[in-house]
Structure 1
C-alpha cells in the first residue's frame, strides 16, 4: 500500500533517533564517530593474524574462532550496535596496513568482518573480498561498476546490510568519501516536497548490470524507502535507476521522478547534511547501507602501479535481519546460477552451497 509501512503506520512521518544526523554538526567533533585502536588492540590483531596462519585455513574459511580477539571483540560488539541502532557508521583508525602488506591486511579485514556479519558476494563472479581501484573502465559500460573507475560516484547505497572499506593506499589527489543520513534526506524531502516524498515509497526498477540468472529479468524492482517498525531503510542508485530505462519492459520515469532524484541528490550533497571524510591508509570505514548513503569524489591516481589507490571491500549481511530484499544479501554468483539451471533441467533441487 503506497504511503504505509509494513505494520500499517503512516510512512510519511519524520524519522527520529540517532540515525538522524547532520554532517555539519558531526564534522566539528570527529572523535564521537572515530575509534582509534590502542596498542593492546593492535597486538590482539597481530596475534589473531598469526593464529589464522597457524591454522592454515584459506582466507574465505577463516571464522571468528580462527581470528580470536579476546578484548577487541567487545569493542566490535559496541560498533555493531552503533551501526545497526545508532548513527549508522564508524571510522576505525590505526590498522598498520603498510607493515602488514596486502595479504595480511586482507586477513585482518576478513577477520574483523566475522564479528559484524556474514560476507556475501559483491558481484556475479562470487567475490567475497573486493578490490576498489581504477581499472580504466567507464561508467557508460553497462557491465562496469563504480568501484572500478576513478569517476565521481554520486550518493548511493550498496547491495548488502553493511559495507566495510579498508584503505591500503590513497590517490594522488581527490577521492574524498562523503556520507549522509538517509533519514535526513527523507525528512528534508518530506518537509519541502511532500508530494515527491510519496514517490519514495513507490516501486522503481534498478539495472542489474548483467548480474542475473538467464531466467531472471535484467532489472530488480524495489521502492526507494521502506519503513519497518518505524525504522527507515533507503535504497538509491540513480545510475542504476536511469540505466534500467534501456529495457523496454521497464516503465518510463515520469518528470516527477526525475525531480525527486534531483532533490535527493541536492539534499545529500548539501554541506549542511553531508559529512566529508578523507580516508587515509589504515582507515576502516564501516557503515549501515540501510541508513547511510555514500559518495566519492573523482580522483587522480599515481602513475606507478604500486602507489595507486587501493581499498579492500566487504559486503556483510546481518544474520538476524529479515531477507525481504535479495539485493541486500549480495549478488548471486554465476556458478550458483549454473548449478540452479542444471538442477532445474535435471528435475532436482540443488543443495545450498556455503558462501
Structure 2
C-alpha cells in the first residue's frame, strides 16, 4: 500500500471549478508572432514532403517559442496541471496542416507515446458507432458520455478539428482538490483508495499478458501525490479476475464519484475548432458529455490526440500502474491504456 498523505495538497494544482469560473487566466491565447513561427515550421515540413507523425522536432523548428514551450511544460507539472491554448486560425489550414502543427508542437513539449495496441502516436477521437458494452471498445470510439478518468501518459492533449451538432463538452477536475475533500470529510476511505485495484485492459494486452493490471487510485511518492482512476475498468476487471469488489471498496468509489459529480468541483468547457487542451494525468481527471453528431463523415466531431511523456515528468511509485504498457521504459512517464 502507498504512503497515505495526511495533509492537504496546496498550491494552484488544487483548484476547484468555481475558481476557474471566476478567472480565465488559464486560457493561453496564441500571439501573431507565435502563429507565424508555427506556420514557418509548417512550411518547412511541407517543403520536405513530410506528414504527421512521420517527422521529428528537428524538422519542425520553432526556436522563437522556447520560452513559451517552457511555460507550457511547467504549467502542466508544477502549476494548475492543465492548459487551454486558443487562437489557431483554422480557416487557413487543411486538416493535414493542422496535424503537422499539432504534432510538431507536441514534439517540442514532450515525447509522444503509443495510445493503443496498434502503436498509434497521433490519435483520432471520433465516433465509430460502437458501444462500451463491448469489452474491447474504448470511449474515444463512441459518442457516449465518458465518466471522469485519466489516460495512460504523463500528459494527454486534444486538438479540436470539428465540433458536434451539440454536446461533447470537455470536463476537467483537479484530483488533488478531490483528495483534499476526501481527507477532510471521508478520511476513513483513504487507506482503501491508496491500496491496489484491478483494472481491465479492454483487449489491449499483448501476447501472454494478463488482461488486467493493478494500481492504487491515489499514490504519494517522492513528495508528490498522483491519481489514476477509471471506474468502468475497475468494475469490468471483476469478470476477468473472478474477484468481486468488497463492500468497503464500493463505498470508497461511491464517495470518490460523489465528489467528482459536485458541480463546484469540476469545470466544463466546449473545445472550439483550433483549441488545444493539455492535462496532466496524475493531477487532473477528465470527462466528456454525450454528443449528437453529423451524419456526413467530413462533418463529424473530430479531435486529434497526443499522449506525451514530459521532460519534467514526476517519478511514480513502483506499484502505480504495475504491469501496464510494456513499451513504457521511462519510470516517470506513461501508465495505462484507458477510456479516452
Give the TM-score normalised by structure 2. Answer: 0.91
Partner of 1:299: 291
- Are positions 1:170 and 2:163 aligned together? yes
Q: CA deviation at 1:90?
A: 0.7
Any gaps of 5 or more consecutive residues in structure 2? 328-340
Residues 1-355 of structure 1 mapped to structure 2, 5 A cutoff:
2=1, 4=3, 10-30=4-24, 32-249=25-242, 251-319=243-311, 321=313, 322=315, 324=318, 331=325
Taking a change above 3 Å as real, the CA distance of residues 62 and 179 of structure 1, as seen in their structure-2 partners, is same
**CA separation in 1, counterparts of 2:288 and 2:204?**
23
The 1:98–1:134 alpha-carbon spacing in structure 2 relative to 1, beyond 3 Å, is farther
1:331 to partner: Cα distance: 4.4
C-alpha distance after superposition, 1:184-217 (max 9, x if no partner): 1111112111111211110101000111122211
Cα separation, 1, equivalents of 2:63 and 2:49: 21
Change in Cα spacing, 1:328 to 1:162, as seen in structure 2 (3 Å) is: farther
Q: How many Å separate the matches in 1 of 2:204 and 2:78?
A: 31
C-alpha distance in structure 2 between counterparts of 1:332 and 1:280, whole Å: 35
Moved more, 210-219 or 306-315: 210-219
Change (3 A) 1:139 1:98: farther
Is the Cα contact below 8 Å between 1:170 and 1:281 reproduced in 2?
yes
Once the two structures are TM-superposed, the CA of residue 318 in structure 1 deviates from its matched residue by 2.0
The answer to whether the Cα contact below 8 Å between 1:123 and 1:331 also exists between their aligned partners in 2 is no
Q: Distance in 2 between matches of 1:285 and 1:207?
A: 27
Number of residue equivalences: 325
Q: Aligned partners of 1:124 and 1:332: how far apart in 2?
A: 11
Which SS does the other structure have where 2:308 is aligned?
strand
Give a deviation string over 1:94-144, Cα, whole Å, max 9, x none: 122343121111111110101111111100011000000110000111110
**8 Å Cα contact 1:124-1:331 kept in structure 2:** no
Residues 310-354 of structure 1: per-residue CA shift (max 9 Å, x gap) = 000000112454475785998458xxxxxxxxxxxxxxxxxxxxx
Give the unaligned 5+ runs of structure 1: 5-9, 334-355
Superposed CA deviations along residues 139-179 of structure 1, whole A, max 9, x for unmatched, are: 11111010111110011000111011000000001111111
Counterpart of 1:15 in 2: which secondary structure? coil
Pair 1:328–1:163, CA change in 2 (3 A): farther
TM-score by length of 1: 0.87
Question: How many angstroms does 1:61 deviate by?
Answer: 3.8
1:59 Cα offset (Å): 2.5
Contact 1:120 1:329 survives alignment (8 Å): no
Which residue does the alignment assign to 1:348? none
Give SS of 2:63's match: coil
Given that residues 159 and 327 in structure 1 are in contact (C-alpha distance below 8 angstroms), is that contact kept between their aligned partners in structure 2?
no
After TM superposition, the structure 1 stretch with the greater mean CA deviation from structure 2, 207-216 or 105-114, is: 207-216
4+ runs deviating over 6 angstroms = none
